[in-house]
A and B are shown apart, each in its own frame.
Chain A
């Protein structure tokens, strides 16, 4: 019940494309859904986060869509750039500072 399933495992898009990464969860107690970006050899960096009271949140080129009834959420990256090439993790928690349950990650490559 604690699992967060993330797809796809890897994704290749052309520069300017809109990669979409999807996550699904089971635990209805989850109340906080962040996305992290991780470059090789670095720790995860918070990109954007959402709570279930809104269906969409946008920060710069990053947008989270949230479907509470389906228990699914997704990350869209608008106008993707080669510098966006990294591994992206979705996560969920019952509180922003409590235990984060992470998805398995999506390795994104943006081709010039």
Chain B
């Protein structure tokens, strides 16, 4: 059983650019959630995808968008990058079965620096 993987591990962008982060969910999991973790703070929920549709969204602007693919992997896209977008972006996967959501397991994260 493989865990949650994310790519790239580190990324440097400049203000105004766009970025795409990728996540492969743990084997057997069908739900993916994305979190933003600023330095020294707890993770904040961005959104969740289930069956290729957004299934909940936190307090983030529309320039944060995502996709989930048929194999349950996912992308996080951020447009018009701002300096405050510099953070560790975490992906978490879980299994939804018969209406019951199981525990979320996190990947190692992608460290994004916006200059």
Residues of A within 8 A of B (CB): 6, 34, 36, 41-46, 49, 89, 91, 95-105
Which of chain A's residues has its CB closest to B88's CB? A43
| B98 at the A interface (CB under 8 A) | no
Contact with A along B11-43 (1 / 0, CB 8 A): 000000000000000000001010100001111
The segment out of B69-77, B79-87, B106-114 that lies at the interface is B106-114
Q: In whole angstroms, what is the CA distance A82 to B102 when docked? A: 31
Given that A102-B44, A104-B41, A105-B42 are known contacts, is A97 also in contact with B105, CB under 8 Å in the complex? no
For B94, list chain A residues within 8 Å (CB). Answer: 96-97
For A89, list chain B residues within 8 Å (CB). Answer: 42-43
Residues of B within 8 A of A (CB): 4, 31, 33, 35, 40-45, 48, 56, 58, 90, 92, 94-96, 101-109
Contact of A46 among B41, B45, B56, B103 (CB under 8 A): B103
For A97, list chain B residues within 8 Å (CB). Answer: 31, 33, 94-96, 101-104
Q: A45-B106, A97-B33 are in contact. List 16 more A-B contacts (CB 8 A).
A: A42-B108, A43-B90, A43-B107, A44-B106, A95-B101, A96-B102, A97-B95, A98-B56, A99-B48, A99-B58, A100-B33, A100-B92, A101-B45, A102-B42, A102-B43, A104-B42
